[in-house]
Structure 1
Amino acid sequence: MANDNPMLPVSDEDWPESIPEMRSGFAGGLNVYRVMAHHPALLKAWSDLREHVVNRTSLGRDRSEVVILRTGVRLGSAYEWAQHVVRARTCGLDDTRIRSMRGSPDQMAPADALLATAVDELLDGAELTPATKARLLAEMGAEGALDLIATVGFYSTLAFILKSFATPLDGDIAAALRADPIDP
């Protein structure tokens, strides 16, 4: 049976000649970016935003992972959920806290509930309510609120790519979750 997915992750052998330096960096390490490599100019442009959202965010690692996990859950992105369960564990989130991202914000710790509520509002209505915006600004400042919004947008775009092209989970993440599953 022929493969009906023309957007499989680009192999090393087929890596675009216009972006050879990206293969050994972040882009070569994850299937989602190997799918984006079908459009080298987009992947190259994506690089600076990714550097900020992933590595330079004012949210910090814990808050960032909470926002990403909630975004992945809300968008039904199994790849993002799996990828960030492993990352969240690496930065110290326990499985109870990680699993809480699947539930109602009123069942979460207050700091996580604020983040999850913000994600939910952005995904449901494309804006923060005045009350959530005021709390975010009071607790995280303008940079934190803007980084949260950028993170939701960034990971929404990745979820659209991942789901549209049925991007397979990276082998190391699949192995980590087989060894230590998150589900009850």
Structure 2
Amino acid sequence: MYDSPVSRLPAAPLPASAQARLVAVGRGPINLHRSLAHAPAMLAPMLDLIHAVRYESAVARVYREILICRIAQIEGSDYELAHHLPMARDAGVDARQLEQLDHWAEADCFSAAERAVLSYAEHLGTGVPWDAAGLDDHFSPAEQTELTVAGATYVAVARILRSLEVRIDDHLR
């Protein structure tokens, strides 16, 4: 079924501009980048957006990672989980929280701010109502905007990954 080791599409070379962008932040290309390389005009702004979410956000990384991991669970994105569970650990999310992420509403290991973020992840991923007051209590309007963009970005990424059947990178298997 696969013509390439990265996705359902044949392999495409990474544009030099994308390679330079990744080198600038100390990263190598991953299968998502290699899959999007067929459309360099789409890859460039996608990299810019993902890098802004990752490196230029005022929202603490722990909140961004639990948001992304919960959205990955909702979307059934094993690829995103393979990448972001280690990032969540590095950000300080403890093992118990990661184990309870899919049952966060019943778990007692999340702070009020984390619960507000997880409620918002549920809203972004499924459209259910969320705890707007909780977001207001813990996050500024700018931070709420960043959480919205981060969450919506990773909903989109999950759907791109699923549609292109992007394989989990070998180093994460």
Partners of 1:142 and 1:43 lie apart in 2 by 29
Kept in 2, the 8 Å contact 1:136–1:144? The answer is no
Deviations 1:82-115 (A, max 9, x none): 1111111222222211122122423151332211
Shifted more, 139-148 versus 49-58: the winner is 49-58
Alignment pair present for 1:93 and 2:89 = no
Kept in 1, the 8 Å contact 2:3–2:10? The answer is no
Partners of 2:71 and 2:151 lie apart in 1 by 6
Shifted more, 60-69 versus 100-109: the winner is 100-109
Kept in 1, the 8 Å contact 2:3–2:11? The answer is no
Partner of 1:143: 142
Alignment pair present for 1:21 and 2:23 = no
TM-score computed with the length of structure 2 as normaliser: 0.83
Alignment pair present for 1:125 and 2:127 = yes
Shifted more, 64-73 versus 1-10: the winner is 1-10
- Counterpart amino acid of residue 61 in structure 2: R
- Counterpart amino acid of residue 122 in structure 1: L
Partners of 2:161 and 2:42 lie apart in 1 by 15
TM-score computed with the length of structure 1 as normaliser: 0.79
Local SS of the residue matching 1:29: coil
Seen in structure 2, the aligned counterparts of structure 1 residues 9 and 122 have a Cα distance that, compared at 3 Å, is: same
- Counterpart amino acid of residue 158 in structure 1: V
Seen in structure 2, the aligned counterparts of structure 1 residues 149 and 9 have a Cα distance that, compared at 3 Å, is: farther
RMSD: 2.3
Partners of 1:92 and 1:76 lie apart in 2 by 23
Partners of 1:2 and 1:66 lie apart in 2 by 32
Seen in structure 2, the aligned counterparts of structure 1 residues 59 and 163 have a Cα distance that, compared at 3 Å, is: same
Partners of 1:84 and 1:63 lie apart in 2 by 12
Kept in 2, the 8 Å contact 1:59–1:144? The answer is yes
- Choose from 111, 116, 119 the match for 2:118: 116
Partner of 2:161: 162
- Counterpart amino acid of residue 22 in structure 1: A
Shifted more, 37-46 versus 97-106: the winner is 97-106
Number of residues paired by the alignment? 165
Partner of 2:56: 56
Shifted more, 58-67 versus 97-106: the winner is 97-106
Following superposition, the deviation at residue 152 of structure 1 comes to: 1.0
Local SS of the residue matching 1:45: helix
Seen in structure 2, the aligned counterparts of structure 1 residues 8 and 76 have a Cα distance that, compared at 3 Å, is: farther
Partners of 1:9 and 1:82 lie apart in 2 by 21
Following superposition, the deviation at residue 136 of structure 1 comes to: 0.9
Unpaired segments ≥5 residues, structure 1: 175-184
